[in-house]
């Protein structure tokens, strides 16, 4: 907003954005004077609005109506938010209590998604921790049948991955325990990528009778967890996007809802989140994906010790409450990071 140097016009723009977000109606000069203490006449306000409109920051839907913000106006508004709307003490307490009640990582993240959807009235997405930066805490091997194993990998941040392994020959019960110990020694304390190198050479170091079983298990782990990891995410609150305040404005819900069902689209949103503690806001036409160009997306990262484990955020209309939404997304990420850091 380099062309707008007048602080009053910036304040007028903020008031129009705030008024439109709260009322969902075009904002006129009379409403601005009544609701906001701008300290100037109606004529001055109308002149400021004319300048803002000429610069593409607000627009007039109808000849006799007030003004509504454009996407450019929302961008200027968001970029001017240096201090986010603080949460009240009851809000913070309720949020932390609900998240802290999770029994494990997946439950905490499910709770985070549901909470984000509820407190922002938007669709919420939460990415499961990135396997590429996780280290293996434990590996369990369970015999499902004499020729089928279940290999369970538990990471340091609580993510649990299970894979079935089909064997070429029968495996005795005592050999299952031996294989578990071999895999634990090779994987524990290492990232999955680091463990791959150990699995490659491990076969030559174990007894001949379990080598074929080890080879099968190692191949499954490498193929599914290292080379083609399934970066899962949780989705909540999509019905929020069908409420009347959105549909009445002619927003193409079908495209947004379809985008949220496509893993690639959602993961692209979450894998490009900023560092822990920073917030990203992408508005309308700024999106690379055509399906999201009538929506705004607010995302951030969660993690421990400054390391990003995953992303979370919300998808909503371009007329969302940006300050409140950014505060809530930031708070949820902070509490999730804090809970993971103490596990």
The domain spans of the chain are: 7-79, 89-130+231-341, 136-227
Q: What is the DSSP letter of 188?
A: B
Closest-CA residue to 307 (of 138, 170, 132): 132
- Residues 258, 79: Cα–Cα separation, whole Å: 29
Q: How large is the average pLDDT for residues 228-250?
A: 74
- On whether the CB atoms of residues 203 and 218 are closer than 8 A, the answer is yes
The residue count for the chain? 343
pLDDT at 343: 60
Kindly state the tokens that stand for 287: 């999106």
- How far is 52 from 34, CA to CA, in rounded Å? 20
Any residues with CB less than 8 A from the CB of 14 and at least 6 apart, and which?
A: 77, 80
**Is the domain 7-79 a CATH 1.10.10.10 member?**
yes
DSSP 190: S
Question: What DSSP state is assigned to residue 103?
Answer: S
User: For 89-130+231-341, CATH number?
Assistant: 3.30.450.40
More confident residue, 332 or 250: 332
What are the distances in angstroms from CA 51 to CA 204, 244, 303?
Answer: 76, 32, 44
Q: Which CATH number is 136-227 given?
A: 3.30.390.60
pLDDT by residue (tens digit) across 242-298? Answer: 875 666 666 767 778 888 888 778 878 877 777 788 899 999 999 888 888 889 999
Cβ neighbors of 286 (< 8 A, separation 6 or more) are 71, 75
Mean pLDDT over all residues of the chain? Answer: 85
Beta strands in 94-159 (DSSP E): 123-127, 136-145, 148-155
pTM higher than 0.75 for the full model?
A: yes
User: How confident is the model over 32-86, as pLDDT tens digits?
Assistant: 888 877 778 888 888 999 999 999 999 988 877 789 999 999 999 999 888 787 8
pLDDT digits 0-9 by tens, 144-200: 999 999 999 888 877 788 899 999 999 999 999 999 998 888 888 888 777 777 776
What is each CA distance from 120 to 46, 313, 316, 331, in whole angstroms?
A: 33, 10, 9, 12
What is the reported pLDDT for 235? Answer: 92
Better-predicted residue by pLDDT, 95 or 250: 95
């Amino acid at each position: 907003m380099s062309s707008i140097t007048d602080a009053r016009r910036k304040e007028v723009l903020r008031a129009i954005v705030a008024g439109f977000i709260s009322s969902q109606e075009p904002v006129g000069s009379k409403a601005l004077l009544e609701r906001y203490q701008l300290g100037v006449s109606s004529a001055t306000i109308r002149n400021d609005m004319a300048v803002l409109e000429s610069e593409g920051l607000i627009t007039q839907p109808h000849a006799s109506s007030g003004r509504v913000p454009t996407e450019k106006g929302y961008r200027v508004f968001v970029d001017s938010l240096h201090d986010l709307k603080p949460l009240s003490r009851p809000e913070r307490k309720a949020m932390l209590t609900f998240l802290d009640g999770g029994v494990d990582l997946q439950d905490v993240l499910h709770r985070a998604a549901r909470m984000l959807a509820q407190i922002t009235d938007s669709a919420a997405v939460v990415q499961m921790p990135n396997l590429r930066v996780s280290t293996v805490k434990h590996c369990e091997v369970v015999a499902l049948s004499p020729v089928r194993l279940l290999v369970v990998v538990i990471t340091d941040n609580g993510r649990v991955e299970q894979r079935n392994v089909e064997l070429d020959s029968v495996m005795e019960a005592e050999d299952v325990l031996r294989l578990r110990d071999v895999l634990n020694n090779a994987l524990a304390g290492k990232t999955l990528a680091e463990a791959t190198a150990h699995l490659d050479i491990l076969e030559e170091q174990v007894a001949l009778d379990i080598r074929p079983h080890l080879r099968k298990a190692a191949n499954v782990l490498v193929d599914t967890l290292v080379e083609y990891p399934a970066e899962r995410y949780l989705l909540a609150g999509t019905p929020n996007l069908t409420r009347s305040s959105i549909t009445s404005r002619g927003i193409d819900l079908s495209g947004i809802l379809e985008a949220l069902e496509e893993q690639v689209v959602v993961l692209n949103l979450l894998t490009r989140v900023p560092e822990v503690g920073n917030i990203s806001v992408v508005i309308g036409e700024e999106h690379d994906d055509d399906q999201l160009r009538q929506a705004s997306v607010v995302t951030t990262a969660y993690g421990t010790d400054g390391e990003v484990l995953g992303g979370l955020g919300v998808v909503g209309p371009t007329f969302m409450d940006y300050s409140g939404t950014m505060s809530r997304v930031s708070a949820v990420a902070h509490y999730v990071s804090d809970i993971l850091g103490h596990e």
